[in-house]
A and B are shown apart, each in its own frame.
Chain A
């Protein structure tokens, strides 16, 4: 059973378009983290959201944590080729437990 359902799995868009990636669960998480990974490298942390309803912005990226802390979204405005990569959401379940990762969204932005 996948605790975190991430969608879409693949996304190919033109430069300048907007997109949203979703991360959904039936479980409540104490926090949720978003990572971006490029081929041959480790994931890089983009943001951590902790409070239900929280919205964080990182330049053209907007992250939202659902009110019930069961879901999150990542919205990218005016996507650029440099945004290409694997985006991973990961939920924290409290204590000293490891993160639960979604299956990832592979984004390709075409110039």
Chain B
């Protein structure tokens, strides 16, 4: 199978803290990784696309200085929420896609990180 591990699964911290979320593809090399945000009872909202070794591509309205993405290897991408505030509280999910094959390759998802900023 294709396993994606996301860590931590839950974070509760004070306003102003920076939080790092890791996403690892455990048994395949992920040329491309994606970061999503999901609000309660809604679908996934794409935040950014991350390609190994290059800068992430952010969706319109997503602050790149607020949500720092690093994809340093073919098996690891990280999302850092800098100076988090209560409005950043959400469910963040990463996914990884095997390469090559492009968008027809399935995206495999981590189990998400529930971020709560007090």
Contact = CB atoms under 8 A, between A and B. Distances in A.
Interface of A: 30-31, 33, 35, 40-45, 48, 50, 86, 88, 90, 92-99, 101-104, 106
Main secondary structure of the interface of B (DSSP, over half): strand
Contacts of B108: 45
Given A31-B103, A48-B106, A88 B44 contact: yes
A101 B103 contact: no
Contacts of B93: 42-43
A86 B44 CA distance: 11
Contact of B103 (A44, A93, A103): A93
A30 B106 CA distance: 12
A92 B104 contact: yes
Interface of B: 4, 6, 31-32, 34, 41-44, 46, 49, 51, 91, 93, 95, 102-104, 106-112, 114
Contacts, number: 70
A52 to B, nearest CB: 14
B44 A43 contact: yes
* Most-contacted residue by chain A among B4, B6, B108 (CB, 10 A): B108
B103 A94 contact: yes
Contacts of A102: 43
A54 B54 CA distance: 36
A97 B59 CA distance: 12
A96 B112 contact: no
A99 B43 contact: no
A51 to B, nearest CB: 11
10 tightest A-B CB contacts, nearest first: A42-B109, A92-B103, A104-B43, A31-B104, A103-B43, A42-B111, A43-B109, A45-B106, A42-B112, A42-B93
A88 B4 CA distance: 19
B81 to A, nearest CB: 18
22 contacts: A31-B104, A42-B95, A42-B110, A42-B111, A43-B109, A44-B109, A45-B106, A45-B108, A50-B104, A86-B43, A88-B44, A92-B102, A92-B103, A92-B104, A94-B102, A94-B103, A96-B51, A96-B102, A98-B49, A98-B103, A103-B42, A103-B43
